[in-house]
Chain A
Amino acid sequence: GAGVSQSPSNKVTEKGKDVELRCDPISGHTALYWYRQSLGQGLEFLIYFQGNSAPDKSGLPSDRFSAERTGGSVSTLTIQRTQQEDSAVYLCASSRLAGELSYNEQFFGPGTRLTVL
């Protein structure tokens, strides 16, 4: 596709439910990132994939958060037993570069706005 796409664009859920967020990166981009952006805050790094591997999971806030990537393309971020503090915009980005250089020139999707009631 022309850009990074994310679905759903909005998700409202009840506290304690599980949610799954999807990211389709730009075709051919090997690096994929998940971030969280809370109101008035900067982007908080969650996890980074190079291909299907996640060399850096240090940003995941708790063991309720997990992510996977298959076929070097689509990625899903799963939040189990959601809490109200999980409410935020979840952004996905991809980069065609590899390794350390992949932090450069990230292309972001429009994000998924998650609201936990």
Chain B
Amino acid sequence: EDQVTQSPEALRLQEGESSSLNCSYTVSGLRGLFWYRQDPGKGPEFLFTLYSAGEEKEKERLKATLTKKESFLHITAPKPEDSATYLCAVQAWTSSASKIIFGSGTRLSIRP
């Protein structure tokens, strides 16, 4: 069964303390892996798309990487405004169409 698992469920860091969020997946026919940020009461905001193992994307303090089994979202020297839920999603190919599967997210909290 196609599945996307994110860990940890929640992460509390001190401002400036770097860390990584994990997204592991088991899908057939990976078409793309997406990272989104979601603030409370709002819809998700697109961050990155990764298509193939070894690919990396960066945006400000965030860097996303992809292997054949998982993706990492690295957060370098985070600030309180980076506090949010980070969602990972995978676009997979089934017998006749693509489908998208979201993980449950990692709630990130950055203390000043």
Knowing A42-B4, A42-B102, say if A103 contacts B91 (CB, 8 Å).
yes
Interface contact B102-A111, CB-CB below 8 Å: no
**Of B4, B41, B44, B100, which contacts A103 at CB under 8 A?**
B100
Tell me the interface secondary structure of chain B in the complex.
strand
User: Interface extent on A, as a size class?
Assistant: 20 to 34
CB distance from A26 to the nearest CB of B (A): 12
Q: Does B58 contact A (CB under 8 A)?
A: no
Knowing A100-B98, A109-B43, say if A41 contacts B49 (CB, 8 Å).
no
Tell me the interface secondary structure of chain A in the complex.
mixed
Interface contact B87-A42, CB-CB below 8 Å: yes
Chain B interfacial positions (CB closer than 8 Å to A) = 4, 31-32, 34, 36, 41-46, 49, 87, 89, 91, 97-105
Chain A interfacial positions (CB closer than 8 Å to B) = 4, 33, 35, 40-45, 55-56, 58, 91, 93, 100, 103-111
